[in-house]
Structures are given as structure tokens and as C-alpha cells.
Structure 1
Amino acid sequence: MTTTIKLNTPPELVFLPGEIYSYSGIKLPLFLSRIEAGFPSPADDYNEGLIDLNNLVVSNAPETYIAEATGYSMIKAGIYPGTKLIIDKSLTFQDGDIVVCSINGEMICKRYKIIDGSVYLVPENDDFKPILLTEEMSLVPFGVVTYFINKASRDSAR
């Protein structure tokens, strides 16, 4: 049995000063060798050029924005409170995508899954339950998470 979910058009996003991540044009060295946790190879000690992080993580700049995650429902996917989500609002939700949407007015980030013809928003934490989408729900898509950024130091939110 296939369930049809009524999608609403997302409202225009409003960003306040200080919430905007601006393009800085900074390019970082790119090392093409693999990074292992063992003994490094002296032959790999050279860089292969520069890489622009904006070009790496943003494929459709006018439709891409960054939001900060809260909560713990996606920790098995590597998304923690404070994780920066790179979201492309032009992409259509596909099975397996990590998505950002509003369900009945509540903004959430979950994995979009189609199981036996039904659509679910599935958390990546066993302490949370999947959400079965029904016709009665108001779902507003805000985009697909294409990348996310976590701080790797000890004081990162985990």
C-alpha cells in the first residue's frame, strides 16, 4: 500500500546577521595520500595542491545553507548538538537521505526511509522512535543534508 504525503511549500528562510556563514576564499592544502592511524610514510609528505572547501561541499550555492543541529537523535550518523549541517534545498528527498523538514511545525533532521511502501523519518539513535508519515501530517521539506561538519577537539559537543 502506497501512502501519499502532502508536501507543503517551504517558507522563505530568514537569516539574521551573525547567522550567515560567508565565503572567505580560503584554500587549504590537499594531501592525496590516505591518513592511517599507524606509522606515516615519508614519501607521502607532499601536498597535491589546494582545495576550496566551498567547492568541495557546496554544489548548488544559491540553494545551499548551513544550520546547526540540536538534540541527540542522529548521533549514530555522526550528527551531534552543534554539528553544522550543509543543506541543499533544491534536492528531492530520496530513500536513505538525511533530510531537514518541518513536521506539524517542528523542525527535525532524520533519515528519510521508504519501508514496504510507507514513508518514515528514522532517527539514528535507538532511544528515539521512527516517525511514520501520514496524510494528516503537515510536512514541509527544507532540504537534503549533503555534508556536515563536526569539531574534532576534546571540547566538541558529544
Structure 2
Amino acid sequence: MLVPDQKVWLEVCGWKVPAGFASPAADHTRKRIDLNEHLIRNGDATFIFKVKGDSMIDAGIYDGDALLIDRSIEPRHGNIVLAVLNNDFTVKRLHKRGGVIKLVPENKIYPTITVKDGEDFDVWGVVTYNLHKLY
């Protein structure tokens, strides 16, 4: 899914929100922000993918979440990435050490995938944000 070009303006409060008691000044906002500017570094290379499955739940990524994927970021060891392995897309944590590439799930019931020589593998993009619905 492509990220739309239209601006999405939201009010931003001028203080940090405690996770305790509500602030009496909650109706006073400071400025407006555009979510595209806040969440997207390179619009032409950013895409949204919906998650299917539970292999990344310990990283806070759940079935049905929407991930922002940036193809312009160079994938590094430890990044959560959208990878393509033998024509199948998967979201995993990238492990690159000593010439060995592994795709590590963030759920103990799933095995780590070691990319073998000759397999068709590519990191499609780096996950930059998880749009997790709370209601």
C-alpha cells in the first residue's frame, strides 16, 4: 500500500502525558503536525504492510498491525526488516555477523531462519514504525 500524499493534520499538546492522572489543561494544544512529516523520512520509498501472524509479538508487533517500511534505509544488524526469502515475505529481526545472515523471530515458539547459500534472499525494507491499533 502506498502512503498517500495528502496531509493529515493533528493537534499536538505541548507537554508530555503522564501515565497517571489526567491533566486539567488537556484541552490546550500547542501546534499542529502532519503525520507524513513526523513518520515518513522518504515518501517515495515508504510503504505500509499489514502483519499476518504472531512471530514478532515480543517486539510489540501483532497480527493485523500496519508497519511502515522504508526501502531507502540500509538494513543493519538488529533492524526489524521486511525480507523476501525464496519468494515469501516475512518480518523478522535481521542478524548479520561473520558472513552469516539470520532472520530472528521475536516469539520463542518460532525458530530462527538461517539464510543458506543459493537461497533467493533480499531485504525489501526496514520497519520504521508500527501503527498498532489500541481499540
Structure-2-length-normalised TM-score: 0.89
Task: Tell me the equivalent position of 1:72.
Answer: 54
- The correspondence of residues 3-152 of structure 1 with structure 2, limited to 5 A, is 19-42=1-24, 46-115=28-97, 118-152=100-134
Aligned with 2:36: secondary structure?
A: helix
CA distance in 1, matches of 2:10, 2:45: 24
Report the identity percentage. 35
Give the CA RMSD over aligned residues: 1.8
Q: Which digits, 9 at most, give the CA deviation of each residue in 1:53-87, with x for residues without a partner?
A: 11111110111111111010011111111111100
Distance verdict in 2 for CA 1:92–1:20, change over 3 Å? closer
Query: Is contact 1:33-1:44 (8 Å) kept?
Result: no
The letter of the residue matching 1:85 is: L
Aligned residues: 135
Gaps of 5+ in 2: none
The letter of the residue matching 1:74 is: M
The letter of the residue matching 1:77 is: A
Q: How big is the shift at 1:119? A: 2.0
Aligned with 1:140: secondary structure?
A: strand
Give the number of the structure with larger relative contact order, counting CA–CA contacts within 8 Å between residues 6 or more apart: 1
Structure-1-length-normalised TM-score: 0.77
CA distance in 1, matches of 2:33, 2:92: 30
Aligned with 2:44: secondary structure?
A: helix
More strand by share: 2
CA distance in 1, matches of 2:38, 2:96: 29
Aligned with 2:81: secondary structure?
A: strand
